[in-house]
Structure 1
Amino acid sequence: MLIRYVRMTFLEQKTDEFQEIFNASKDKIRAMKGCQYLELMRDINQPNVFMTHSHWDTETDLNNYRDSELFKTTWAKTKVLFAEKPLAFSVESLTVA
């Protein structure tokens, strides 16, 4: 399983707009082949910093999502709201508590 984190810093006045975009697309993302989990988190000290955390069966499933029309349209609406370049990384779990 691949675990994906994307940290995004938004313009402070654009956080509500981002949350609307996320809420409109989250069920569609969760329905993508291979998506097992998706959550949105917010930094408790920096309310304009959000992170998505998702689980994918394979890297191919994640890449298929990233190549989809859903991702392209959602990302196009999201990236114009950024205050900083996003940081994305994929990991694998080595131990489970």
Structure 2
Amino acid sequence: MLNRIVKMSFKPEKIPEFLENFEQNKHKISGFDGCHKVELLRDKHNTNRFFTYSYWTDETALENYRNSEIFKGIWAKTKVLFNEKPEAWSTEVVSCEL
């Protein structure tokens, strides 16, 4: 399992546009082959900062998504709303206690 974290900061006036785009497309992301779940998180103190946290079968599944027309369309609408360069990390669980 691979977890992908993407940090994005938006121009405050563009947040509603981002949220609308995410709501319209989250089912396409979570329904993409190899994606198990996608979450959208918001920083409690810097409310123009958001994180997507997605769960993928493996690196190949994530790369297939990143090369898809679905991703390209979503990203084209998202990247013009940023006020900072986004950051992304691919991670794997080392330890977990429930």
Count of residue pairs the alignment pairs up: 97
Instruction: Report the CA distance between 1:60 and its aligned residue.
Output: 0.3
Give the 4+ runs in structure 1 shifted more than 4 A: none
2:40 maps to what in 1?
40
2:18 maps to what in 1?
18
For residues 84 and 8 of structure 1, the distance between their equivalents in structure 2, rounded to whole angstroms, comes to 7
Q: What is the one-letter code of the residue matched to 1:16?
A: P
Structure 2 unaligned runs (5+)? Answer: none
Deviations 1:70-91 (A, max 9, x none): 0001000000000000000000
- 1:25-64 aligned at under 5 Å gives the runs 25-64=25-64
What root-mean-square deviation, in Å, do the aligned CA atoms of Structure 1 and Structure 2 show?
Answer: 0.4
2:83 maps to what in 1?
83
Q: What is the one-letter code of the residue matched to 2:3?
A: I
Deviations 1:9-49 (A, max 9, x none): 00010001000010010001111011011000000011100
Aligned to 1:63, what secondary structure does the other structure show? helix
Q: What is the one-letter code of the residue matched to 1:13?
A: E
Instruction: Report the CA distance between 1:52 and its aligned residue.
Output: 0.2
- 1:1-12 aligned at under 5 Å gives the runs 1-12=1-12
Structure 1 unaligned runs (5+)? Answer: none
TM-score, with structure 1 as normaliser: 0.98
